[in-house]
Amino acid sequence: MHLKLTRIMIELAITRKLHGAGGAINLNLDVRIGTGDFVTVYGPSGAGKTSVLRMLAGLLTPNDGRIVCDRQIWFDKSKDINLRPQFRNLGMVFQEYSLFPNMTVQGNLEFALQKDQPKSRIDELLQLIELEQLRDKKPALLSGGQKQRVALARALVRQPNLLLLDEPLSALDTAMQIKLQDYILRVHRQYNLTTLMVSHDLNEVIKMSKRVLILEDGIIKKDGPPLEVLPLDNLKPFITGGLSR
């Protein structure tokens, strides 16, 4: 038996200059994430959340620093290492879906399938996202929420060690959100996946994650359990504001 809590999955110590809405942002992170953790990145629009995921995935190059995942060096400026995205074993849901327009729904999922995986995995996922009947349609014909579900399913096909979710449920109705949140949590626990999610939905963040990083202007302002670090006062006035009108 190993001490699960002490094993570190990701070590992230990077900087990157970004064009922010309030002038240049210096994205500057120094975080460790344990194996099997579910961590949410929360913060205002334009804070740099997507950029963090992109740098982890190898799609955006940090200006400096290093990224170590599962004891493998993914990026190290000083050693001039930059592992290509193909070799970073992870799954990612893009904020803007990035489905392949030339493939059907099923084709998009099958493309993600690895050689040793059974085809039944696809049917399972299609059933989960309730799109079995649209399996032969191209993405252009899908509704916004349907696309988002395909994007999520596609990232889940491979069952990678690291899951990066960029607002994976933002376009869905509450019932579907709850269903998929539960599913994500189930696979997360079942396979001991390390998961990094971006979400601006307080309810979702509270429900899903053990740890929240509050990112503002490129810097982690707070880091801790959701109920301690989230601005919960946003929740109440919001609902009552509506109800009491």
Partner 1 sequence: MLDLSPFYLTLKLATVTTAILFVISVPVAYGLAFARWRGKVIVESIVGLPLVLPPSVLGFYLLLALSPLNAFGHFLEKYFDLRLVFTFPGLVVASVIYSLPFMIQPIQNGFRSVPVALKEAAYTLGKSRFTTLTKVLLPNMKGALLTGCMLTFAHTIGEFGVVLMVGGNIPHETRVISVTIYDEVEAMNYHQANVYASILLVFSFLVLISVYLVNNRAFKVDPYHD
Ligand X SMILES: Nc1ncnc2c1ncn2[C@@H]1O[C@H](COP(=O)(O)OP(=O)(O)OP(=O)(O)O)[C@@H](O)[C@H]1O
Q: Tell me which residues touch a second copy (CB under 8 A).
A: 19-23, 43-46, 49-51, 95-96, 130-131, 133-134, 137, 141-146, 148-149, 166-167, 170-176, 178, 200, 202-207, 226-227, 231, 234-235, 238-239, 241-243, 245
- Under rule CB under 8 A, residue 58 binds partner 1: yes
- Under rule CB under 6 A, residue 85 binds ligand X: no
Per partner kind, with CB cut-offs from 5 to 8 A, the member of ligand X, Mg ion, partner 1, none near residue 111 is: partner 1
Q: Which residue's CB atom is positioned nearest to ligand X?
A: 145
Nearer to partner 1 among residue 156 and residue 230 (C-beta):
156
d(CA 215, CA 185): 23
Instruction: Answer yes or no: are the C-beta atoms of 213 and 220 closer than 8 Å.
Output: yes
Furthest-apart CA atoms within the chain: distance in Å: 60
Among 63, 72, 114, 127, binds partner 1 (CB under 8 A): 114
Rounded least distance, CB 73 to partner 1, Å: 18
- Under rule CB under 8 A, residue 153 binds partner 1: no
Collapsed DSSP state (helix, strand, coil) of residue 90 = strand
d(CA 203, CA 207): 6
Q: DSSP letters along 199-227, please?
A: ---HHHHHHH-SEEEEEETTEEEEEE-HH
C-alpha 190: how far from its chain's center? Answer: 17
HSE-CB for 167 with a 13 A CA cutoff: 17
- Under rule CB under 5 A, residue 44 binds Mg ion: no
Nearer to a second copy among residue 76 and residue 201 (C-beta):
201
Enter the tokens of residue 107: 């084709």
Burial 223-242 (b: 16+ CB within 10 A, else e): eeebeebbeeeeeeeeeeee
Rounded least distance, CB 225 to a second copy, Å: 10
Of the candidates 45, 15, 19, 9, the one whose C-alpha atom is nearest the C-alpha of residue 30 is 15
Specify the residue for token string 């009491």. Answer: 244
- Under rule CB under 8 A, residue 165 binds partner 1: no
Per partner kind, with CB cut-offs from 5 to 8 A, the member of a second copy, Mg ion, partner 1, none near residue 176 is: a second copy
Collapsed DSSP state (helix, strand, coil) of residue 141 = helix
Where along the sequence are the contacts to partner 1 (CB under 8 A)? Answer: 54, 57-61, 84-92, 94, 96, 98-103, 111-112, 114, 138, 140-141, 154, 158
Where along the sequence are the contacts to Mg ion (CB under 5 A)? Answer: 50, 95, 143-144
Where along the sequence are the contacts to ligand X (CB under 6 A)? Answer: 18-21, 25, 45-51, 95, 134, 141-146, 171
